[in-house]
Structure 1
Amino acid sequence: MKQSPRVLGRPRHDGNAKPTKDLVLETATRLFIKEGYKNISMDDVAKACNVTKATIYYYYPTKGELYTSALIAMMDRIKLSILEILEQPIPFKERLEQLVAVHLSATIDIDMKNFMKEATINLSEPQLKQVQASENDMYQTIEQTMQVEMDNGTIRKGNAKFFAHNFMALMTVGYFKDGDGKTLLGSVDVTAKEVTNFFWLSVENK
């Protein structure tokens, strides 16, 4: 039986290997994290993946689309991690502290603020909206948990969205580094404890 010809431009796929699209996305994300958007070209991604540049363009027609997908994939992973932590059957304050610790550990080499700044500068409006929607999903995950804990009387009544955004804003303090590359509070565990305690003082149901 004659084999059907491949669609023009469609990369070959090895059934035993990681799907090429996934490989491209993971590799590009790693390169963007290390070097930033402007310093990484589609050719750099192709070389790192050991595929042709045509293969990269088959899956991601522009660098903007690749960067958009990288950001969304990163935020989706963070959201899943947040859900996993917040659904644990342990006290809410402990979950929040663990959330800060895990989040900071996972993003220790990532300048999230710069990541989003580069997105604002380099992405089209539709692409930026996709990224912002994914970012909002992360906030909503925490917001929903805040509302549940309010209803349960664990924390005081208030605006769950406001609480969630304040918590995430406090978490970003952990990203700060001085000229010597040192964080404000030292270790991730100390930062997680201090951030959580600071937040808890404002929402504790006394």
Structure 2
Amino acid sequence: MNADKPKSLGRPKRADQRYSTNETIIAEAARLFMEYSYEPVSLNQIAQVCDVTKASLYYHFANKAELFTESLVWTLSRALSGTERVLKESSDIRSGLERLAVVKMSTHHVDFESMMRDAAPHLSEEQLLRIRQAEHGIHDVLSAHFRAAMDSGLLRPADPLLLSHALNALLMLGNRPQPAEAAPSTAELAKTLIDLFWHGVAPEQ
């Protein structure tokens, strides 16, 4: 695959006037990085999609690594806020997890760890730390809700942080063709995966 054209990026579009150029660049770069990973996406492509010049990109961001870092931190911050909102608004933790699963699986994205391995050689230690701290914020939110569910007797005692990482890994199945085709809809797949997470694979007593 040509590194300058990692699939079709669609027609160039003018930056949404509701957002500043900086915000538009971050949002569009985040979408491209999350869909194609680090290496396949070029600054030329990001400039084209944002309908700005490459010089404008360099005015806002020193290089691709800086833009990647800002876009990932922005994405993870939004995910954190969304996770907290969904879990707080849901009637119980299980229904909240199903809603989170639908949201996570409704948009195709690359595996986060694969993307980080792709990008790591190009990032500074400070940039890697910022991204990991933003990622850990999401796990902290999930862990807090798991811990509260355990305290209420809704979940058996377990390491809440481990549960958070296990859930995230399980939901990545929604981005793989065969598991995704096993259910008639994203909502059905979300329910199936959360059922598996909730009950495990041991037979009911």
Relative to the length of structure 2, the TM-score reads: 0.78
CA distance in 2 between counterparts of 1:17 and 1:173 reads 35
Q: Is the 8 A contact 1:29 1:67 kept in 2?
A: yes
Aligned to 2:54: 53
The residue identity in structure 1 corresponding to 2:109 is I
Show the counterpart of 1:159. Answer: 159
| Greater Rg over alpha carbons, structure | 1
Q: Secondary structure at the match of 2:191?
A: helix
Query: Once superposed, what is the RMSD of the aligned Cα atoms?
Result: 2.2
Say how many residue pairs are matched: 183
Task: Say whether the 8 Å CA contact 2:28–2:49 is kept in structure 1.
Answer: yes
- Tell whether the 8 Å contact from 1:147 to 1:160 is kept in structure 2 after alignment: yes
Superposition TM-score, scaled by structure 1 size: 0.78
1:88 equivalent in structure 2: 89
Q: Cα distance, 1:65 vs. partner?
A: 0.6
Going from structure 1 to structure 2, the CA distance change for 1:47 and 1:176 (only over 3 Å counts) comes to closer
1:123 paired residue number: 123
Point out where structure 1 has 5 or more consecutive residues left out of the alignment.
1-15
Change in Cα spacing, 1:147 to 1:66, as seen in structure 2 (3 Å) is same
* Residue 170 (structure 1) aligns with: 170
Q: What SS does the aligned partner of 1:183 have?
A: helix
Aligned-partner Cα distance in 2 for 1:165–1:34? 21
Alignment pair present for 1:185 and 2:182: yes
Moved more, 29-38 or 156-165: 29-38
CA 24–196 in structure 1, closer or farther in 2 if over 3 Å, else same? same
DSSP-derived class of the 1:96 partner: helix
Percent identity among equivalent residues? 26
Secondary structure, aligned partner of 2:109? coil
> What residue number does 1:63 align with?
64
State the one-letter code of the partner of 1:194.
T
Aligned residues of 2:35 and 2:110 also touching (Cα < 8 A) = no
After superposition, the Cα gap between the structure-2 partners of 1:87 and 1:44, relative to the gap in structure 1 and judged at 3 Å, is: same
Distance in structure 2 (CA, Å) of the matches to 1:33 and 1:160: 26
Q: Deviations over 1:141-188 (max 9, x none)?
A: 10000011111111112221122222222222222225xxx7253331
Counterpart residue number, 1:19: 20
Pair 49,172 (structure 1): closer, same or farther in 2 beyond 3 Å: closer
* Residue aligning to 2:144: 144
